[in-house]
Chain A
Amino acid sequence: MTNNTINKIRLVQGNEACALGAIKAGATFYSGYPITPSTEVAEHIANKFPRIGRHFIQMEDEIASIGAAIGASTVGHKAFTATSGPGFSLMQELIGYAAIAEIPVVIINVMRAGPSTGLPTMPAAGDVQQARWGTHGDHSIIAISPNSVMETYYETINAFNLAEQYRTPVLLMMDEKVGHLRERFEEDEANEPVIMYRPAPKEGEKFVPYANVECGVPHILPLGKGERYHITGLTHGETGFYTAQPKAVSKFVGRLSDKIELNVDKIAKIEENYTDDAEVLVLSYGSSARSAHEAVKTLREQGHKVGMVRLITLWPFHDAKIAALCEGKKAVIVPEMNLGQMAREVQRVAKGVPVLPMCRVDGDLMTPDEIIAKVKEVL
């Protein structure tokens, strides 16, 4: 142990890593309303932002919080908010607004057990389908589920990059265990993360705020910086003004979805371990995936052909890749801290393969032993 290593190695909590990631990503505006188990994100941002000339505002509730973040983003800030289940429910309408108005914003949801006030200090993954379908109307969304402190840091940066790149709300779906876990934090100095900014028109190029461009993501300029344009939650044409013209509406709603779904290869991160010769697959995400990884490692040491797939990106769901991974397996077991929400997605794509949900909703993390026992039932 030298002084040098001490300076580099830190024990950091998941929520703090999220705040550090946001700072690294270039976030300049945070508006939020504190709620367990996400509060430490706000605490760290409240401490750091004013010192580096960025903005922290505590709002009166979660609706105002996401409203302020969306507003800040329209004038050019990289903006975000952090909450948990009850606040996430309140934010749903404006998540839809950000989706239709194509305003980049990052929402951190440190999931706790619900419904309603539920178990405030305990982990769950009960909001993963709400992330996809919580706001009304057809749209696509990006949602990420990190499972460690270091991954929280890098995926927070990724969340901001994706929000900017695709002009969309991005949801970072942490859970209480990951948010409150403290573990080694050491930045990879050799791989400095890329920081991305929203697409802007080139000098002299005509600015069309909602242009039907081929890549699906039109240019964006901050309001108040020279270009006047209209932003609305109504369906709109290329100029941003309301339209009910069927062809234009159809094209617009289609583009909102396609710009994300057609880029699923670029967006969706899926981690695979021991999948090559696996006969049984364990598919998980978030902190349940840590129990699953431990279980699969133990089973491999015992000589069983078990593989592990971890969804880092929950949405967009990579239908083709998951279908291919499940193909020919004896069974796919899906441990998660809800009553089988992502197992339904796996069942939808894994044709002819038994997909067995493994659920825990008592506020406690699944143990590796439980998963080992379940796998042994089907081996």
Chain B
Amino acid sequence: MQRKWEVRFSGTGGQGIIRSAVILAQAALYDGFDAVQSQSYGPESRGGSTKGEVVIDDEIIYYPKVNLPNLVVCLSQEAYKKYGADIRENGILIVDSSICKDDNKVPENVKVYEFPIIETAREEIQNELSANVLSLGIVTGLTEIVSEQSMIAALTETFKKNILESNLKAFALGLKIAQTAKN
């Protein structure tokens, strides 16, 4: 299994991008890894592009930021434009299908997955805001960064009871989508 993961979630302010990073980091701690989550945002809290980063390692992490990520999730066109090409060799890029990638700027050896993340959240969960948790399901299903069990524990820790169920559903949907892509 890959030892060190540098993960970058990107999208628009308000999409729960930083929350995704926090949940992944929490799950990684449960799995016994060291994890550091950092963020970068502008003075505005809605709109504008946002990134949430997580470094996961089985050794102590000193430098807390993502240097060059090996997993990138893009949930908006602007985020894709900014972060889509900034990815390590043989890395994984997960983008929402609504994003236009005609520019071919993604390095060739990067594995690109395209899923209707936002649309599925809107249609199946009746809530676009679940797109962040749905993408966590996809990340968990496609990679071995963290265990499903720890992710569920982290989600349960994060969400209040009244919204936990829909988020667990979004997570399960993400896992299913990833499984289909793998087969």
Chain A interface (Cβ < 8 Å from any Cβ of B): 1, 5-6, 9-11, 36, 120-122, 177, 180-184, 287, 290-291, 293-294, 297, 365, 367-369
Say whether B31 contacts A287, CB under 8 Å.
no
Determine the chain B residues whose CB is within 8 A of the CB of A365 once the complex forms.
63-65
Say whether A183 contacts B36, CB under 8 Å.
yes
Determine the chain B residues whose CB is within 8 A of the CB of A36 once the complex forms.
43
Per the bound structure, the CA–CA distance linking A182 and B54 in Å amounts to: 9
Say whether A1 contacts B67, CB under 8 Å.
no
Whether A9 touches B63, Cβ cut-off 8 Å, given contacts A1-B150, A180-B38, A183-B36, is no
Interface of B is mostly: mixed
Say whether B25 contacts A182, CB under 8 Å.
yes
Say whether A290 contacts B64, CB under 8 Å.
yes
Please give me the 8 A-B residue pairs with the lowest Cβ-Cβ distance, nearest first: A294-B62, A294-B63, A182-B37, A293-B62, A11-B26, A183-B36, A290-B62, A9-B29
Per the bound structure, the CA–CA distance linking A87 and B118 in Å amounts to: 41
Which of the residues A121, A184, A291, A367 comes within 8 Å of B29, measured between beta carbons?
A184
Q: What sequence of 0s and 1s flags, for each residue 128-172 of chain B, a beta carbon within 8 Å of any chain A beta carbon? A: 000000000000000000010110010001000000000000000
Whether A121 touches B41, Cβ cut-off 8 Å, given contacts A6-B153, A182-B36, is yes
Whether A184 touches B64, Cβ cut-off 8 Å, given contacts A1-B153, A6-B30, A121-B43, is no
Can you offer 18 A-B residue contacts whose CB atoms are under 8 A? A1-B30, A1-B32, A1-B147, A1-B150, A121-B40, A177-B64, A181-B64, A182-B37, A183-B61, A184-B34, A184-B35, A290-B62, A290-B64, A294-B62, A294-B63, A365-B64, A365-B65, A367-B63
Say whether A297 contacts B22, CB under 8 Å.
no
Determine the chain A residues whose CB is within 8 A of the CB of B127 once the complex forms.
none
Determine the chain A residues whose CB is within 8 A of the CB of B43 once the complex forms.
36, 120-121
Say whether A11 contacts B38, CB under 8 Å.
no
Determine the chain A residues whose CB is within 8 A of the CB of B34 once the complex forms.
183-184
Which of the residues B35, B41, B61, B63 comes within 8 Å of A11, measured between beta carbons?
B35
Nearest CB of chain B from residue A337's CB, rounded to whole Å = 13
Say whether A1 contacts B149, CB under 8 Å.
yes
Question: For the complex, is B97 an interface residue (Cβ under 8 Å from A)?
Answer: no
Chain B interface (Cβ < 8 Å from any Cβ of A): 22, 25-26, 29-32, 34-43, 61-65, 67, 147, 149-150, 153, 157
Nearest CB of chain A from residue B67's CB, rounded to whole Å = 7
Determine the chain A residues whose CB is within 8 A of the CB of B31 once the complex forms.
1
Per the bound structure, the CA–CA distance linking A120 and B45 in Å amounts to: 13
Q: Which partner residue on chain B sits nearest A371 by CB separation?
A: B63
Per the bound structure, the CA–CA distance linking A182 and B20 in Å amounts to: 13
Q: Which partner residue on chain A sits nearest B55 by CB separation?
A: A183
Determine the chain A residues whose CB is within 8 A of the CB of B67 once the complex forms.
367, 369
Whether A291 touches B25, Cβ cut-off 8 Å, given contacts A11-B37, A183-B36, is no
Per the bound structure, the CA–CA distance linking A122 and B37 in Å amounts to: 15
Per the bound structure, the CA–CA distance linking A369 and B62 in Å amounts to: 13
Determine the chain B residues whose CB is within 8 A of the CB of A293 once the complex forms.
62-63
Q: Which partner residue on chain A sits nearest B38 by CB separation?
A: A181
Nearest CB of chain B from residue A320's CB, rounded to whole Å = 28
Per the bound structure, the CA–CA distance linking A230 and B132 in Å amounts to: 59
Per the bound structure, the CA–CA distance linking A6 and B62 in Å amounts to: 23
Per the bound structure, the CA–CA distance linking A293 and B63 in Å amounts to: 8
Nearest CB of chain B from residue A63's CB, rounded to whole Å = 24
Whether A297 touches B62, Cβ cut-off 8 Å, given contacts A177-B38, A182-B22, A367-B67, is yes
Say whether A290 contacts B63, CB under 8 Å.
yes
Apart from A11-B25, A181-B37: 20 A-B pairs, beta carbons within 8 A: A1-B32, A1-B153, A6-B30, A9-B29, A9-B30, A121-B40, A121-B42, A121-B43, A122-B40, A177-B38, A180-B39, A181-B64, A182-B22, A183-B25, A183-B37, A184-B35, A287-B64, A291-B63, A365-B65, A367-B67
Q: Which partner residue on chain A sits nearest B33 by CB separation?
A: A184
Determine the chain A residues whose CB is within 8 A of the CB of B30 once the complex forms.
1, 5-6, 9
Determine the chain A residues whose CB is within 8 A of the CB of B29 once the complex forms.
9-11, 184
Per the bound structure, the CA–CA distance linking A11 and B157 in Å amounts to: 11
